[in-house]
């Protein structure tokens, strides 16, 4: 009985953590971005301005949740839910420590890739259902961007799978006992990192919502909690990608002295901060440049990575 | 302008001495009167046939002459349409005026010669009701399409209080909104091509990428821009009409708000024009103070452009850095002028006050501080590879096109055409300063940016020279028409006291005449054409702004590029809405 209760507690804990983290990330991003941009950021409510999280939540819950009369109501409502659900589903397969984690699927990596592909529907459907030209353009960009970056996001991870000999994320972490995969799979890491940025559509890959061009892109027509869901979905996405980078390339929970969960948390925070740093530093490429870069540079590179890894393993085994 | 009469002689040789009469103005270049019948041949001759032609239609405007008293020797006219031509090769201006009568105010269009005549002619139609036969789309440009009357006609009311209370009942609101509906057919655009429907996208009037209220209607095939149509006038406040009811002195604050990033730079063009009417000499100290403040504002304006341009292509941080630096400029401006963005600080005959104690330290700190920051911005913006990929080869035009369309300022220099009015026609003592005119070659978004960034450095050089060589002397002319007049002697004799009293209460009485001064403002050439009827208020104030001409080029620059490129182009031409609409 206590086992079951413990299991339930872990599941609830792991699934709630990204939501709480998402709320905190709003604060973190605003303060960190402000620091990088020579300004203060929200620093008035509560200690270190942390109260802004609460204020934001109150605001977003109490705002009028308006569905435009010209929108496709059912799809319009469904779209923001998709991004949060798929994000949380991905969290389920991430091994946080040796013992903590919702489930250990033997195809965990494929499950993550499937969920991130599903997440695209959220953006595309939102853009379509809004019946707004800016939203439509955003949705179109999102679908094109995701379709192309999905391809080598998967391919870039195949090197890791080859080396670990398993699709189970727990096995992959365990396989990094001697050396983190960042070393032998550096190319794979770079490609996955870029594809992950594109997947979460964060700057410099925020083309679906490029505010200077498309106002707010696919979520132009959203307000209230539905808008909030996109926001949360984006941060859950950032968290998941960062967690996957940690799991696949940086040895997951492993590290000296400190307990596993602390190591996992520190590595996660580091990559989240890198995401924010990139947002502060880089301009946004044009849509066709992004596609060209993906198909002409990243795809061949990820194939090359796969072939070289496979060849090296064959030689080594032989 | 030593060979100014050359153009007149050439016209005389071609058309005979009877074809035109010459009018005396204070502007320093010839103003000719000709007839409606002669006009097309005149313009064609000057644009295409004459050696070293007048390539630029610098300005096209009109004057409502019906209530003007002092126009000795000028032909009978109710409405005078005025073509201001500019030849870079000659470094020479020429003004051609055509008299029109009220009942028959129509002219043949000049759009066949200059594509830029399009908007100018629409503006004259909108403001004066002068028709241009053969114009491709002669409709209102600054006023709403539903407007009645032509605002710059003298009988049109100038104040809201003359017009009755404003009401917006539902049916009127619907009518106004219906008038804004875009119908592609009205503009000769097709809705489909080879079976594909075009998407028409409204960018603006409220859009984060347009930096103000302007509407650009895009005809899209996917994300590719097939054609586009800028619609301006949302920011129109009737600055020229206001000029006709403000005293010469009290119009100065209105000029601040034309190019609202240029601050006192606007004052300069206006007061120089007034001083030209009077023939006033300005003390050296006042001139150097003016130059220093103008260059500070040039940097401030360029910094706003720098940050927002980077933001337009998605780089979020630069704008915060440049705005912080701009704050430092405003600290200086505040200490010197008391105001920040709109100090209204220049005066007819000089400036409002002398420089405050300790100004040297503030300016020196800034001049020392800025170069390092610029080096940093080069790294985060100009040398960034994504930034280059977004801006190089985008929105390019050639020097010939630029001259044809009336482009001035950095936009012209980016095409490799070295032309800076501070160098070529030094005003306010710019010939005494040592600075370079940066140019670039390709005329694309990146090159326009390069030119502006280098201009910041050159402005710093000028400010440094002002700092080191600030002359002693008075900050205001002792000419009796300097406003407000100098006070020292007012308590010593009654004549000076009376003069001072009148000058302050009525404002100065500026002698009748016409003047024109164009300066190298932050965004290009900003010119003030003033007509005085010998009173305390101007008879006509014409404000020629660079952004108006630049904005008209948007369709040319953006055909065939993608939506994000349009934003890069808009950012790179550095316009200010008030500078377009006035």
Among partner residues A215, A286, A288, which is closest to B208 by beta-carbon distance?
Answer: A215
Domain ranges of chain A: 63-317
Best to test chain A binding among B564, B566, B567, B569 (most A CBs inside 10 Å): B564
SS3 at position B241 = helix
Chain A residue nearest residue B386, CA to CA: A285
Question: 3-state SS of chain B: helix, strand, coil percent to 5?
Answer: 40, 15, 40
The DSSP secondary structure of chain A, one letter per residue, reads -HHHHHHHHHHHHHHHHHHHHHHHHHHHHHHHHHHHTTS--S-SSSGGGTHHHHHHHHHHHHS-----TTS-HHHHHHHHHHHHHHHHHHHHT---SSS--S---TTHHHHHHHHHHHHHHHHHHHHHHTT-HHHHHHHHHHHHHHHHHHHHHHHHHHHHHHHHT-S-HHHHHHTTSSS-TTTTTHHHHHHHHHHHHHHTT-TTS-GGG-HHHHTTGGGTT--HHHHHHHHHHHHHHHHHHHHHHHHHHS-TT--SSS-HHHHHHHHHHHHHHHHHHHHHH-----HHHHHHIIIIIIHHHHHHHHHHHHHHHHHHH-
Q: Residue B4 pLDDT > 60, yes or no?
A: no
Q: How far is CA B393 from the centre of its chain?
A: 27
CA distances (Å), A215 to each of A29, B89, B305, B506, in order? 21, 44, 20, 50
Taking the Cβ of residue A282 and every Cβ of chain B, the question of whether any pair is shorter than 8 Å is answered with yes
CA distance A189 to A176: 14
Between chain A and chain B, how many beta carbons pairs sit less than 8 Å apart? 80
What residues in A contact B313, CB-CB < 8 Å? 212, 283-284
Q: Average pLDDT in the B230-245 region?
A: 89
Q: Which two tokens stand for residue B374?
A: 């610029």
Dist. CA A55–CA B136, nearest whole Å: 55
Interface test with B, best of A212, A276, A288 (most B CBs within 10 A): A212
Picking from A211, A215, A284, the nearest residue to B313 by CB comes out as A284
Residue of chain A whose Cα is closest to the Cα of B204: A215
Task: State yes or no: pLDDT of B523 exceeds 60.
Answer: yes
In whole angstroms, give the CA distance from residue A33 to residue A159: 34
Q: Give the pLDDT score at A212.
A: 66
B3 burial type by CB count under 10 A (0-12 exposed, 13-18 middle, 19+ buried): exposed
Pairwise CB contact (< 8 Å): A281 & B311 = no
Q: What is the mean pLDDT of residues B230-238?
A: 88
CB-based contact, A104 to chain B, within 8 Å: no
Average predicted confidence (pLDDT) for chain A: 84
What is the arithmetic mean of pLDDT over B332-352? Answer: 89
- Among A194, A283, A292, A296, the strongest candidate for a mutation testing the B interface, having the largest count of B CBs within 10 A, is A283
Q: Are B208 and A215 in contact (CB under 8 A)?
A: yes
Please tell me the distance in Å from A250's CA to the nearest CA on chain B: 29
Comparing CA positions, the residue from B315, B202, B381 lying closest to residue A210 is B315
Judge: A282–B564 Cβ closer than 8 Å, yes or no: no
Q: Reply yes or no on whether the pLDDT at B489 is more than 90.
A: no
B239-581 CATH pick, 1.10.645.10, 3.90.1170.50, 1.20.1090.10, 3.10.310.40:
1.10.645.10
| Three-state SS at B503 | helix
Residues of A in contact with B562 (CB under 8 A): 286-288
Tell me the HSE value of B225 on the side-chain side, using a 13 A CA sphere: 27
CA dist., res. B223 & res. B502, Å (int): 63
**CB interface of A with B, residues 138-157, below 8 Å:** 140-141
**Contact flag B386-A204 (C-beta cutoff 8 Å):** yes
Reference B289, options B461, B462, B454; nearest CA is: B462
Q: Please give the helix or strand (H or E) that residue B9 lies within, else none.
A: helix B4-15
Nearest to A285 among B207, B208, B390 (CB): B390
- Closest B-chain CA to A137: B223
Confidence of residue B563 (pLDDT cuts 50, 70, 90): confident
The minimum CA-CA distance between A197 and chain B, rounded to whole Å, is 15
Query: Across the interface, which of B201, B316, B562 has its CB nearest the CB of A286?
Result: B562
Residue A183 CB-density burial (10 A; 0-12 exposed, 13-18 middle, 19+ buried): exposed
In chain B, CATH 3.30.460.80 sits at 4-154
Confidence of residue A107 (pLDDT cuts 50, 70, 90): confident
Does the structure show a pLDDT above 90 at B195?
Answer: no
pLDDT at A168 > cutoff 90: no
pLDDT of residue B541: 92
Q: For A289-310, how does the pLDDT look when each residue is reduced to its tens digit (9 = 90+)?
A: 888 888 888 888 888 988 988 8
Residue-wise pLDDT for B379-430, tens only, equals 888 888 888 888 988 888 888 889 989 899 898 999 888 888 888 888 888 8
Residue A1: its pLDDT value, please?
Answer: 65
Instruction: Compute the mean pLDDT over every residue in chain B, rounded to the nearest whole number.
Output: 87
**What gap in Å lies between CA A271 and CA A182, rounded to an integer?**
14
Interface confidence (ipTM) of the complex: 0.84
Across the interface, whether the CB atoms of A283 and B321 are under 8 A apart is answered no
A279 touches chain B (CB under 8 A): yes
Share of chain B above pLDDT 70, in %: 99
- Res B1: pLDDT: 41
Q: Which residues of A touch B565 (CB under 8 A)?
A: 286
A137 contact residues in B (CB cutoff 8 A): 201, 223, 563
Query: Which of A38, A213, A278, A297 to mutate to test binding with chain B, by most B CBs within 10 Å of its CB?
Result: A213
Is the Cβ of A289 closer than 8 Å to some Cβ of chain B? Answer: yes
Supply the pLDDT for residue B361: 92
**Interchain contact A203–B (C-beta under 8 A):** yes
Every domain range in chain B assigned CATH 1.10.645.10: 239-581
Let me know: does B460 contact B299? Beta carbons within 8 Å: yes
- Is pLDDT above 80 for B485? no
Q: What is the pLDDT of residues A194-232, one digit of tens each?
A: 888 888 877 777 777 776 677 777 888 888 888 888 888
Q: Over 70: is that where the pLDDT of B272 sits?
A: yes
Q: List chain B residues with CB under 8 Å of A139.
A: none
Q: How far apart are CA B336 and CA B263, in angstroms?
A: 13
What Å distances lie between residue B507 and A221, B165, B440, B485, CA to CA? 54, 31, 46, 10
Which chain A residue lies closest to B223 (C-alpha atoms)? A137
- For residues A200 and A237, give the distance between their C-alpha atoms in angstroms, rounded to a whole number: 6
| Confidence grade of residue B2 (pLDDT, cut at 50, 70, 90) | very low
Task: State the average pLDDT over residues A115-139.
Answer: 85
Three-class HEC string of B302-340: HHHHHHHHHHHCCCCCHHHHHHHHHHHHHHHHHHHHCCC
CB A109 within 8 A of CB A157: yes
pLDDT digits (tens, 9 = 90+) for A76-89: 888 888 888 888 88
- Residue B367: predicted pLDDT: 92
- Count of residues for chain B? 582
Rounded to whole angstroms, the Cα distance separating B318 from A37 reads: 8
Distance from CA of B564 to the nearest CA of A (A): 6
Name the β-bridge partners of B62. Answer: B81
* Cβ-Cβ contacts under 8 Å, A143 against chain B: none
Q: Which fold does the domain B4-154 belong to in CATH? A: Beta Polymerase; domain 2 (3.30.460)
Task: Give the mean model confidence (pLDDT) for residues B492-499.
Answer: 83
* Mean predicted confidence (pLDDT) in B560-581: 88
Both tokens of residue A301? Answer: 């590179």
Task: Flag whether pLDDT at B188 surpasses 80.
Answer: no
Residues with Cβ within 8 Å of residue B8, at least 6 apart in sequence: B22, B30, B32
CA distance B411 to B401: 11
Residue B3 has pLDDT above 50, yes or no: no
């Amino acid at each position: 009985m206590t086992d079951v209760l413990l299991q339930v507690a872990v599941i609830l804990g792991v699934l709630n953590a990204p939501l709480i983290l998402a709320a905190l990330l709003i604060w973190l991003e605003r303060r960190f971005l402000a620091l990088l941009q020579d300004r203060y950021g929200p620093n008035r409510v509560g200690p270190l301005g942390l109260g802004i999280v609460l204020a934001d939540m109150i605001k977003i819950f109490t705002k009028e949740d308006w569905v435009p009369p010209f929108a496709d109501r059912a799809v319009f409502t469904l779209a923001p839910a998709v991004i949060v659900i798929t994000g949380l589903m991905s969290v389920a397969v991430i091994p946080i420590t040796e013992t903590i984690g919702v489930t250990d699927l033997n195809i965990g990596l494929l499950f993550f890739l499937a969920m991130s592909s599903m997440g695209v529907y959220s953006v595309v459907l939102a853009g379509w259902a809004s019946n707004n030209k800016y939203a439509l353009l955003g949705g179109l960009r999102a679908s094109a961007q995701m379709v192309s970056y999905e391809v080598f996001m998967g391919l870039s991870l195949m090197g890791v799978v080859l080396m670990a000999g398993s699709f189970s994320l727990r096995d992959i972490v365990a396989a990094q006992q001697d050396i983190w995969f960042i070393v032998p799979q550096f190319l794979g890491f770079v490609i996955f990192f870029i594809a992950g940025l594109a997947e979460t559509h964060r700057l410099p890959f925020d083309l679906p919502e490029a505010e200077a061009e498309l106002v707010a892109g696919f979520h132009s027509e959203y307000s209230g909690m539905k808008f909030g869901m996109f926001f949360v979905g984006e941060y859950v996405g950032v968290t998941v990608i960062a967690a996957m980078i940690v799991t696949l390339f940086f040895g997951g929970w492993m590290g000296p002295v400190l307990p596993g969960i602390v190591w996992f948390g520190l590595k996660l925070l580091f990559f989240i901060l890198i995401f924010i740093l990139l947002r502060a530093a880089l301009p946004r490429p044009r849509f066709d440049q992004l596609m060209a870069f993906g198909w002409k540079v990243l795809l061949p590179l990820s194939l090359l990575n796969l072939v070289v890894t496979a060849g090296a393993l064959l030689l080594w085994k032989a | 302008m030593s060979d100014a009469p050359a153009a007149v002689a050439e016209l005389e040789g071609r058309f005979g001495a009877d074809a035109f009469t010459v009018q005396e103005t204070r502007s320093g270049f010839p103003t000719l009167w000709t007839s409606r019948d002669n006009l097309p041949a005149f313009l064609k001759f000057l644009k295409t046939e004459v050696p070293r032609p007048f390539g630029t239609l610098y300005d096209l405007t009109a004057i409502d002459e019906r209530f003007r008293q002092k126009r000795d020797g000028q032909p009978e006219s109710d409405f005078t349409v005025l073509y201001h031509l500019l030849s870079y090769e000659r470094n020479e201006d020429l003004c051609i005026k055509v008299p029109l009568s009220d009942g028959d105010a129509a002219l043949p269009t000049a759009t066949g010669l200059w594509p830029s005549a399009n908007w100018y002619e629409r503006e004259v139609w909108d403001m004066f009701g002068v028709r241009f036969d053969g114009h491709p789309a002669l409709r209102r440009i600054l006023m709403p399409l539903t407007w009645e009357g032509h605002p710059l006609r003298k009988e049109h009311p100038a104040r809201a209080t003359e017009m009755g209370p404003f009401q917006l009942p539902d049916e009127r609101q619907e009518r106004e909104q219906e008038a804004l509906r875009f119908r592609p057919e009205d503009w000769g655009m097709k809705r489909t091509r080879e079976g594909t429907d075009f998407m028409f996208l409204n960018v603006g009037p409220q859009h984060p990428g347009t930096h103000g209220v302007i509407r650009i209607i895009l005809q899209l095939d996917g994300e590719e821009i097939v054609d586009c149509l800028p619609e301006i006038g949302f920011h129109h406040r009737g600055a020229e009409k206001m000029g006709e009811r403000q005293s010469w002195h009290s119009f100065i604050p209105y000029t601040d708000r034309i190019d609202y990033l240029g601050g006192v730079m606007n004052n300069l063009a206006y007061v120089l024009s007034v001083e030209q009417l009077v023939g006033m000499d300005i003390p050296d100290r006042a001139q150097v103070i003016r130059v220093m403040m103008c260059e500070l504002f040039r940097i401030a304006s360029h910094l706003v452009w720098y940050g927002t341009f980077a933001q337009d292509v998605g780089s979020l941080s630069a704008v915060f850095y440049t705005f912080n630096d701009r704050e430092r400029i405003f600290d200086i401006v505040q200490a010197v002028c008391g105001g920040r963005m709109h100090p209204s600080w220049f005066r007819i005959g000089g400036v409002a006050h002398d420089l405050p104690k300790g100004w040297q330290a503030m300016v020196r700190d800034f001049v020392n501080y800025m170069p390092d920051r610029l080096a940093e911005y080069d790294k985060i913006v100009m040398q960034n590879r994504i930034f280059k990929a977004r801006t190089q080869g985008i929105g390019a035009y050639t020097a010939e096109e630029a001259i044809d369309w009336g482009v001035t300022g950095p936009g012209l220099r980016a095409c490799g055409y070295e032309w800076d009015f501070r160098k070529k026609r030094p005003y306010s003592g710019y010939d005494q300063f040592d600075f370079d005119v940066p140019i670039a070659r390709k005329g694309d978004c990146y090159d326009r940016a390069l030119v502006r960034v280098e201009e910041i450095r050159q402005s710093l050089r000028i400010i440094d020279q002002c700092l080191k060589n600030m002359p002693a002397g008075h900050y205001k002319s002792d000419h009796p028409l300097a406003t407000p007049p100098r006070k020292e002697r007012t308590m010593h004799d009654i004549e000076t006291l009376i003069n001072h009293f009148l000058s302050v209460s009525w404002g100065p009485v500026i002698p009748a005449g016409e003047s024109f001064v164009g300066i190298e403002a932050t965004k290009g050439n900003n010119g003030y054409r003033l007509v005085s009827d010998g009173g305390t208020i101007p008879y006509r104030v014409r404000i020629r702004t660079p952004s108006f001409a630049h904005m008209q080029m948007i369709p040319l620059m953006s055909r065939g590029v993608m939506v994000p490129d349009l934003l890069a182009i808009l950012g790179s031409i550095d316009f200010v809405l008030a500078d377009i609409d006035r």
